[in-house]
Structure 1
């Protein structure tokens, strides 16, 4: 006798279907759960991941099965042909939207939430500096101001440090071995061991934060933006006057981390 997929009978129909926002979210999370597994996923596992009753989950699975997005398999559920067709269509649609547009939209959201200047920085070919390629300035009277095209060193900027944190150890070692740090301000860290520790901290938390390192009176907070393949596209940087930033450093870190994650997800990253 062939084994049956882990199922629970759906609740009796009442003559109408309820399409709630919660149901839409659960459908998306079901598809994400099946995408993440090479093997069939049991109803129990799906229910546990969604923190939802089996009866609710199986009702959604049946609807997805009818549409061809999932199919019952031994001891569980897997993606159906409809899901792969949708995936191909989504990839094609995303290709029509430039990554820069999605990044800029996320930058605008962060600028509104923080009321500070937001920058997108990319690594230069020399592997030792970044260039600011997009800037949305704060509307505050006192604000951090910088022009598109401006270049900064990696070791003394939040954007540079978070990009170093995303590199392989060998690349970081080579960079630091060739580095002769210069003090841009009285607070600039020039000790190689201290710079290495700052990079390690950014690697651990996913966020880098600097105060008065590249310029007096400027505090930077940065997180990496990644594409669908997991490659770093650049750094999302929030720049604020130090006097205004000092009482909310933790908040700024949370805001930047959340914004960078949202932008990366819009680009297809699921790490």
Structure 2
């Protein structure tokens, strides 16, 4: 990380804390392994006592996350905002009417997901919630594991073989429910099925009682840039499975067409503004 001198920020006509916040964000945007309080204090040339409150507030608001080792990373709220303001904005605008139509047709919540730029996880870029009183509720910016969500499985399925093998071998997978699939061999079989059928399922894997189905959105070069999924109560999703599969495939194909994409398989899933494989996930070191 570079060193940012914040000593003169107070004289710029605004609160010094504002300048320090941007200094923190600038540094963490380039720090793939995050940074501790001590490291941030050195790099921003600011006292630890001045940074503690800022870091706490940013973490509370979801702009930063702090792991068990005390390292800070950019959080889901900031990443979602960045995506909505830059490369993801066009995708959101294009997919929005499709999400609305999908909710109306299926009666379930529809979600647009992409790979996070800093970790091997999916992040929800946009959503339209069902009007059913019992529905799947989700927040824009929420991070979701690739291995136990329909949105994430689609993205995982279209990793390059090398990247997917590394993920299955090294990524620490938590068993959230009795039906969460965490075994590498079982996940590999499911990924192969997803690539053949073009649709991914999650049944009570992330949360008991909630299930989803997803399909891929392709770019012009045939790469997978996003996932489109619907989710709802498991019993309702099970009853309407065939119709939901038809709807999600048609909706994803519609999104692909709207962005000038090409329906193809065998290409790598990428974040809309990813410059390389993220390594901020829960990997064994």
TM > 0.5 between the two?
A: yes
CA deviation after TM superposition for structure 1 residue 188, in Å: 0.8
Question: What RMSD, in angstroms, separates the aligned Cα atoms of the two structures?
Answer: 1.7
Correspondent of 1:159 among 151, 155, 165 = 151
Equivalent residue runs for 1:1-271 within 5 Å = 98-271=90-263
Q: Distance in 2 between matches of 1:199 and 1:193?
A: 10
Question: How many equivalent residue pairs?
Answer: 176
Report the structure number with the largest CA radius of gyration.
1
Ranked by relative contact order (alpha carbons within 8 Å, sequence separation 6 or more), the top structure is 2
Residues 125 and 98 (structure 1), Cα distance of their counterparts in 2 relative to 1, 3 Å cut = closer
Deviation track 1:104-132 (CA, whole Å, cap 9, x = no partner) reads 11111111110110001110124421111
TM-score by length of 1: 0.62
| DSSP-derived class of the 1:98 partner | helix
Q: Distance in 1 between matches of 2:173 and 2:213?
A: 20
Contact 2:149-2:212 within 8 A present in 1 as well: yes
TM-score by length of 2: 0.59
What 5-or-longer segments of structure 2 have no aligned partner?
1-88, 264-285
CA deviation after TM superposition for structure 1 residue 216, in Å: 1.0
